[in-house]
Structure 1
Amino acid sequence: MNKALNRWRLGLRIARRDALRAKGRSALVVAMIALPILGVAGADLAVRSSQLSTDEWLSREIGTADARYEVYEAGVPILQHPTDPSDMWSSSWDDEEPGQANRDPGEDGEEEPAGRFRFEDVLPEGATVQEERSGYADIATEHGILWTDIQETDPTAELTRGKYTLLDGDWPTGPGEVAATTQFLTDTGAKVGSEVELAEIDHKVTITGSYELPGSLRSTSLLAPSDSLLPLLDRGEDPSNVRYLVAVDGGVSWDAVQAANELGVQVTSRAVHLDPPADADVPLFQHPDYFRWDSGIDSQAAALIGVAVALVVLEICLLAGPAFAVGARRSRRQLGLIGSNGGDRAQLRAVMLSSGIVLGAVAAVIGIVLGVIGVVLAKPFLENIGGSRFGSWDFRWLEILGIAAFAVFIGTLAALIPAINASRSSVLESLTGAKGVRRGSRALPIAGTVALILGVAVALVGGLSMGSAGMVGVGAVIAELGLVALTPLLVGGFGKLARFLPLSGRLALRDAARNRGRTAPAVAAVLAAAAGAVAVATMTAGIQAQERAEYVPNLPDGTVALTMWNGSESQLDPLRSAAEKTLPVTDRADLSTAQPTAAFCTGGSAANLDWDPDACYLEILTPPENVCPLWEEGSEALSEQETRDLRQDERCRFNRSAGWGMSEAGPVAVGGPEILKVLGLDRPEYRQALEDGKVLVFDRTDIDSEGRVTLAQYENWEQEEPAGTVVLPAEHLDGDGYGLYALMTPQAAEEAGLGTTFAGTYYATSDRPTSQDEQAFRGELDDLVLGSTTSWTIERGYTGDYSLSLLILAIAAMVIALGAAGIATGLAQADSEADLATLAAVGAAPRIRRTLSGLQCGLIAFMGVLLGAVSGLIPALGLLMADHRDRLDWWEREVAEGWDVGPRPELHLALPWETLGQLVVLVPLIALVFAAVLTRSRVTLARRAG
């Protein structure tokens, strides 16, 4: 025991002296270990500090109150979670016990309207109460109109303390005064002291101060004194927009919460949050239809986290290992003296491993300290990103000690292989400085090839066949380890290209190939960094491609829809004028809804009476020969294979558009051929069909064998059999109807005896309207008197944009890759000073040193990112395939059960070419330039031993 203790005491003392003697090399190792420790320690402090305690969360939600009362569904009993207000169950969801039945009927026998709900029947007796009301308003800005929230309360009241934070100015005290959130000021360009106009009522208010909501920093809202603003807007009377902060002696118990739940009121109680009831006392948990989500860690997520940690450790060891190897070569004479004086192999290993322990401990201290300082300095930035203020600083010392131990472990692991090699060195070679014969391992390339093939197979099979993210992660790690093992062989292969390069390039490549023990780990470290970035970028590109392919537009891209109901067409004129004045509109098309003949519409039309049950309506009848067998009686007897086959039958597929942009025109729209231009379907054969009086039908199965479509006429919605039918010639239109099932001209409708009701106007645009165009349009509408039955929408197309995320990812990968290449170059210079001195002695120009360093760094970066790009595709493709497998399994299960779940899911793969270009081109170029610029061109010549 004493012998082992003395061995490690001596090793630690030597390691400390060596670290101080070789400050540059030690700093490189410390930097590489400290960098991830800095990130982990900072992330731990940031995450823990952002996780609010119960008291902190309650302070933001209910201030200093004992409880907050708010209506979910007035008069309808609910069941709520004790500590999660969003998790609840309403009795109105139960078919066997409709919630409406729990309301008291009014004098006329109808249900009690929600407006008669009284909070006085719910609030505890003798309680101190602070009311909060919410609403919204349109605010005039320099661009047009901004929609914003309105809050009315007294922010200086004792019960609201902690909910609102005043940043500048004063709280509003009377009518005409408001406070604004910082996000509102940013969006509008207003300042404290500015006046803003409520566009709806031409009323101006003065901003007296700016404030923030600690839990919602991005909130765009105004705060006004109670009953000063919402009454002017005719809002705030709905009980669901009112909340009460309550203070009562003894707090609000769980029994009191349940009593409020009986009246449809949710309660956030301080006493219940601090001392939750047992599960057996929570009725929500006993409800047969309630599903309690498991809060445990998903096994696949845990596997992926483990894979990520393994890759981080691998990368650090790959970078720090060569530095320890160089240190071991520099200390060969010292190790030889220890061996010549009786030191055994265990003593030599202890000396080298002690270097890892010492440098790991230093990196732990520096990383943790810098991580804490970084989080403290970056706190406002992190809070703005997260949209919420931190709670109190939360230092978890056990976790911090674990992070420190992790740093020491990484340092020791990185020094392990150099320690083993040093202990095996001959004492004579160590004392004389002879390098001996270096032979490359023949087993390593074979093992690497096997691991690469095996890893790719595991990742792809695990993803596509098993849908297992864990299997994909394991396969990706195996494949990357295989590439790492192959890296020395690949570096040697790159070295054979040296004869095609000029002098500096030839020297750089040959030096890299000759010193593979130093070059290969650096290339592998760059590989790991690039592989991670490429994997995430490829995943992101694949997800974006899937979202774009699955996006269902409601209208053709850029189309402007102006629709109405229960009114006359002239009410749409103001909207048309505003659109034509402010938006880049081109072709215009007016659409109406086809209605049954007057004889069937004694109760009015469905379009005019907002789906009144007594209204008449039209429906397209499917011909008997085209009816899907799955919808007929006896379909439950079909086998699973028969069900699958029928799902591929055109009769059983949903052949109509899922978009609803033109649904206001009903199933059978009436309009001229100009609508074909708006739809992008303006073909001569379709125009001719309309002119011939035919109905253009979007679903082929609606047309019978004789080329006709049958329109059923119903007198009301309760009628099961049609009161009459209209049979018209039809032609299939191959395109997207965006909510339309059929289209006919006004002349054809008149000849068939059908009525029409105006539905809306649609405009095609030369370009998709911008945000400024839309704000100008809103601003124009603010000066108009519009009917309550009109509405408008603009199809903006797929708007998912991951470019910023990909750019940040690429930059992070660049920094890591450049750092790895720079460290490798620094080690190369430290390891080859004698060779550089020889070059200078034989007359090499000073710029040769700069060029050589630049090319060494650039070549390492190029080899690393090129291999990393290949390596990163493996986990990305595997995870995309796993996700596709999950979606496909779900689709197949639903189809087998007879559900119409749409088309078969497709696998969407896409390569992030921009990210790949940034890594493969920019990283080596930047590495080359920086290394050349930062390298000294002159070498101090000294006598070379030997």
Structure 2
Amino acid sequence: MKGVRAALRISRRNARRSKWRSALILAMIGLPVALASFVLSALFGPGPLPDHGHYPLGQADAVVTGAHEWAGLTQDAWGNSGSPQPGRDQTPFTPAEIAALVGPGNRIVPFAQAYVRYLTPQGYGSGEIRQVDLDDPMSRGTFRLIEGRLPAAPGEAVVSAARLDPAEGAAPGATLYVGEERRPLRIVGVALFDLAGIEPAFAAFPGSLPDAAFGPVGPGLRSRGWLVDSTHPLTWADVRRLNARGLVVVSRAVVDAAPPDEAPSRVRVSSIAQTAPWVAIMLLEVVLLAGPAFAVGRLRRAREFALVAVQGGSPAHLRTIALADGLLFGVAASVPGAALGVGAAWLARPLLERRAGYLLPPLAVPWAAVATAAALGVVAGLLAALAPAVSASRTDPVAVLSGRRERGRERAGRPLLGIVLVVAGTAATIASAGHELGLIATSALVTQLGLVALTPVLVAAVARLAARLPLPLRFAARDAVRNRGRTAPAVAAVMTAVVALTAVGVTWQSRLAQRPAYAQDYPQAPAGALWIAGPDLTPGLWDRVRSAVREELPAGVPLVEARMLATSAGAPVYASVPDDASGTSRVELSDASRSGGLLVGNDDLLRYVLRRDDPRAAAALHEGKAVVLNPAVIRQGQVSINVSPAAGPDDLAPLPLPAVGTQATGEGWARAVIAPEVAAKHGYGTMTAMLVVDPADFRVPRATADRITAKVEGITGKATVRLEVPEPPDDTLLLVVLGIAAAVLVLGMTFVATMLAAAEARPDLETMSAVGAAPRVKRAIVAGQALVIALLGSVVGVLAGFAPGIAAARYPDPHPAVFLRADGVTTMVPADTPVIAIPWALVGLLVVALPLLAALGGAAFTRSRLPLPRRRAT
């Protein structure tokens, strides 16, 4: 133990002497630990979101809601009850009755929440509106104001940060008109809300909306109720007493005493299996990155090791002194790194909440996971110092103290072990294609370990190939071979980073090349069609959009209008045309028009939907029948369509229509077409849902479509413009993200290794200066050293990254693919055979651009004057 203490004191003294090298090693070990601690604290620290949704308690002691007709109901601790059913004939309690039931001395504050439709200057919108006094102490903890002020009078509201959108009229200073009565609601602030219940889009001051706007009393979150500030905790006996009178109660005392759910922090074996390979890869990268720094530190301290050896120090003593560096730097970097990550997660909470759009649960740092990350940092420091420690134990004191270079004992690695691991890892990667990503990562890790073992052999092979190259490159290659203990870890570090980047790039590019997984990404109209969808636009906005589109189209080109059902007040009605004879429908709100597949229009719309002229279908449309694109849903000459209002809890009565079936040949969401007179006959109005330019009439050029899009976006942010033409996948984000990561990792590691190599090659540069080498030779040599490290690591890394990337790309999408039939029905099918796409731009960046940039950077940041030889005393 005394020897360890002395070794740590020696390491601390040397760390103070070499401040820049020490800072570099601390950053190499500490930053990954800080990053891991930040991710663990930011993602897993807030704890799970509540499984039992109810109106958030805030600082209230209880939340109650109910009706006289609910007497004798039963509930669980979180207020879930199967007994009460909302209905228009139920009699809610009055505030006086609630005050009498919960007991004297208790204070109650009313609240209400419902899903409503509102009007903005940009068109209609819909969302949850909560009506409660946010300034009341019982509301504290349910929100946080981040902009503006709280509502202080009826007619004022705050908008949720998740719904803040100035382009759509949802921002401070805007005025909303809510419900059919168009009650004005002025937005005065922005707030983040708790996710314990249904997050509201707006929170209004009490009295802003009438009770009728919130519908009947119900046991759920969209209801009316009261927050209770009681003089004593409401126990389960109190809850059962109030249940007997018809109240559903969520009591803080009961919820806190309820048995907790399964602990979310319980680590499962499957989770460990999925996480372990990624942790091992990160640990390997840190070891390879910090290894050269420890190796150069050992060379700089060679005289110190030699003096210890001549004074009786054993090889074990020398190893202990060298390993003390790893222990010292590992602890000194990991502990502050873990603290820095936790602190950064705490400081970043407001930003994360603003980004998420809601309040996060209280921070609960997963100390066990953070301590594990710190322990791995210490282990990484020890592993990085292990190879230099073994070299230190073999110090030749006579050669060192006499000023001669030590005889190299570095071997060309373990090629047999490396070959076995590479072959086994590659075979396992091929076999794991299409399986879990954790298995693929494990196989790739085995391959990486084999390549690390083969790196010295690869470095030696490069030196033999460089025999006919110019002097700087030839010197750099031979210097790399002569100092394999320093070069091999640097090359391996670059290679490991490039393998990961290449694998991610191949997987990402392949996913982009595959067909989309969601119906909205598939063609929603015939090829070449231009459509504008805006079910939330007002008639005035549609007139402006229609005029803007006609300005860009040639004269005489018809503009097909598709309409949808609406109430007499002009609110949209969603229709659900059946998928098949069973009457089910999966399309209700998925299409851009939000019509549910039932379109209202004339002969032009019918021809557009069918992609042909059909006299029989046109005659049926004129006769007041529905033209159905899937004849299988017609029963006894009729089709039954379910309809529901845009806002409101009650569905409308099914709509039976006489129907004629026909077969469609195009693509789109339409399932049935009816004439406007049919809608009026059944008491419905209509409203514009889409404008379409039929490609049979005119194919809109891309430039024209872009101008139309710009004009429509200038009018309203609630309209969608799309030209149905095939477009190549956009890989810009792929190149930007991976390009930045590659530049930081590859160039950073290359520059570090090059600086260390240049410092170690000082005696050779002195010799060159003595024999008359030109000043630019030093720049060329440093550039050659950077090129050798970056090029060898990048080329091998790219080749090794193809296999795990292709294997991950073949992993099937867990969601089945969705496509549209000609009759507008969505069909679920297994995913296609994965498409393998290579990101050649990324490969070129890794193999060509970054090595050349590393060489240029090494030459640019190196002084051209060669050092003069130092004279040694004789």
User: Quick check: TM above 0.5?
Assistant: yes
DSSP-derived class of the 2:228 partner: strand
Q: Secondary structure at the match of 2:109?
A: strand
Is 1:487 the counterpart of 2:467? The answer is no
Check whether the contact 2:589–2:596 (CA below 8 A) recurs between aligned residues.
no
Quick one: structure 1 residues 248 and 876, their matched pair in 2 at CA, closer, same or farther if it must change by over 3 Å? farther
Relative to the length of structure 1, the TM-score reads 0.69
Q: Give yes or no for the alignment of 1:924 onto 2:851.
A: yes
| Shift, 1:131, TM fit | 1.7
Q: Distance in 2 between matches of 1:861 and 1:663?
A: 54
Give the match for residue 406 of structure 2: 435
**Given residue 435 of structure 1, which amino acid in structure 2 is its aligned partner?**
E
Following TM superposition, by how much is the alpha carbon of 1:450 offset from its aligned partner in structure 2, in angstroms?
2.5
Q: Counterparts of 1:929 and 1:345 in 2: how far apart (Å)?
A: 42
Q: Which residue does 1:863 correspond to in 2? A: 792
The alpha carbon displacement at 1:530 in A equals 2.7
Of 267, 272, 289 in structure 2, the residue corresponding to residue 319 of structure 1 is: 289
Q: Deviations over 1:102-147 (max 9, x none)?
A: 76xxxxxxx9537655587888522422122335564645x66666
What does the per-residue CA deviation read over 1:729-782, in whole Å, with 9 as the maximum and x for residues that have no partner? x8x7654353448x9999xxxxxxxxxx99988543543774872572578xxx
CA distance in 2, matches of 1:763, 1:268: 49
Amino acid at match of 2:637: Y
1:62 counterpart SS class: coil
Query: Are 1:477 and 2:445 counterparts?
Result: yes
| 5+ residue gaps, structure 2 | 565-571, 622-626, 642-657, 677-684, 694-699, 819-826
Q: Does the Cα contact within 8 Å between 2:242 and 2:249 map onto a contact in 1?
A: yes
SS, match of residue 420 in structure 1? helix
- Correspondence for 1:248: 230
Counterparts in 2 of 1:771 and 1:337: CA distance versus 1, 3 Å? same
2:562–2:605 contact (8 Å) kept in structure 1: no
Distance 2:538 2:692 in 1: 17
Q: Per-residue displacement from partner, 1:878-930 (whole Å, max 9, x unpaired)?
A: 3443445x779x99xxxxxxxx9535653344444555455445543543444
Aligned partner of 2:256 in structure 1 is 274
Alpha carbons of structure 1 residues 758 and 515: separation in structure 2 relative to 1, 3 Å: same
Q: 1:236 aligned to 2:214? A: yes
Q: Does 1:736 align with 2:667?
A: yes
Distance in 2, Cα, partners of 1:245 & 1:408: 52
The partner residue of 2:712 within 773, 792, 799 is 773
1:545-571 deviation line (CA, Å, top 9, x unaligned): 55615535472275346899xxxxxx9
Q: Secondary structure at the match of 1:559?
A: strand
**Are 1:331 and 2:331 matched, yes or no?**
no
Q: Which residue does the alignment assign to 1:173?
A: 152
Give CA deviations for 1:669-694 in whole Å, capped at 9, x if unaligned.
99757756x56x86xxx559989999
Q: Following superposition of structure 1 onto structure 2, how do residues 539-688 of structure 1 map, counting pairs within 5 Å?
A: 539-546=507-514, 548=516, 550-551=518-519, 553=522, 555-556=524-525, 558-560=530-532, 577-583=543-549, 587-589=558-560, 672=603, 678=608
Q: Which of 27, 30, 36 pairs up with 1:31?
A: 27
Distance 1:540 1:349, change over 3 A: same
Give the secondary structure class of the aligned counterpart of 1:39: helix
| 2:851 corresponds to 1:874 | no
2:272 equivalent among 265, 281, 302: 302
One-letter identity of the residue aligned with 2:851:
P
Question: How far is the alpha carbon of 1:358 from its aligned partner?
Answer: 1.9
- 2:26 maps to amino acid: V
Contact 2:562–2:689 (CA<8 Å) still a contact in 1? yes
Q: Which amino acid aligns with 1:927?
A: A
Report deviation, 1:942: 3.3
CA distance in 2, matches of 1:398, 1:620: 54
Length-normalised TM-score, structure 2:
0.74
Deviation (angstroms), 1:276: 0.9
Of residues 187, 204, 215, the one that matches 1:224 is 204
Structure-2 separation of matches of 1:669 and 1:145:
20
**Does structure 2 retain, via aligned residues, the 8 Å contact 1:59–1:162?**
no
Cα distance, 1:184 vs. partner? 6.6
Identical pairs, percent: 28
Residue number among 5, 18, 23 corresponding to 1:22 in the alignment: 18
Secondary structure at the aligned position of 1:9 is classed as helix
Rate the CA distance shift 1:219–1:546 in 2: closer, same or farther, 3 A.
farther
Contact residue 560 and residue 795 of structure 1 kept, 8 A: yes
Distance 1:927 1:149, change over 3 A: farther
- Whole-angstrom CA distance in 2 between matches of 1:472 and 1:68: 50
Q: Is the 8 A contact 2:123 2:541 kept in 1?
A: no
Distance in 2 (CA, whole Å) between partners of 1:118 and 1:795 is 51
Q: Where does residue 416 of structure 1 map in the other structure?
A: 386
Equivalent residue letter for 1:441: A
Once residues 87 and 674 of structure 2 are traced to their aligned partners in structure 1, the CA distance between those partners, rounded to angstroms, is 45
- Distance verdict in 2 for CA 1:146–1:522, change over 3 Å: farther
Q: Number of matched residues?
A: 798
Cα RMSD (Å) of the superposition? Answer: 5.7
2:214 is paired with a residue whose SS is coil
2:9 is equivalent to residue 13 of structure 1? yes
Q: Deviations over 1:646-678 (max 9, x none)?
A: xxxxxxxx9x999867997989999757756x5
Q: Which amino acid aligns with 2:834?
A: L
Deviation of 1:374 (Å): 4.4
Q: Displacement, 1:416? A: 1.3
Whether the aligned pair in 2 keeps the contact of 1:463 and 1:883 (CA below 8 Å) is no
Specify whether residues 921 and 690 from structure 1 end up closer, same or farther in structure 2 by C-alpha distance, changes over 3 A only. farther
Question: 2: distance between equivalents of 1:835 and 1:827?
Answer: 14
The unaligned stretches of length 5 or more in structure 1 are 92-98, 104-110, 280-291, 565-570, 594-607, 622-630, 632-653, 703-708, 719-724, 747-756, 780-791, 892-899
Aligned partners of 1:909, 1:582: CA distance in 2, in Å?
42
Question: For residues 348-380 of structure 1, what are the alpha-carbon distances to aligned partners after superposition, in whole Å with 9 as ceiling and x for unaligned?
Answer: 211211121122232235434544564565454
Pair 1:301–1:920, CA change in 2 (3 A): farther
Cα deviation per residue 1:175-200 (whole Å; 9 max; x = unaligned)? 44444556777736999994645488
The counterpart of 2:501, out of the listed 533, 540, 549, is 533
| AA in 2 matched with 1:714 | G
Query: What secondary structure, in the 3-state scheme, does the structure 1 residue paired with 2:667 have?
Result: coil
Determine if contact 1:664/1:760 at 8 Å carries over to the other structure.
no
Provide the residue aligned with 2:315 in structure 1: 345
Inter-CA distance 24–170: structure 2 relative to 1 (3 Å threshold): closer
Q: Distance in 1 between matches of 2:37 and 2:574?
A: 60
Match of 2:490 among 519, 522, 531: 522
Distance in 2 (CA, whole Å) between partners of 1:675 and 1:397 is: 64
- Write the letter of the residue equivalent to 2:13: R
Counterpart-to-counterpart distance in 2, 1:145 and 1:494 = 68
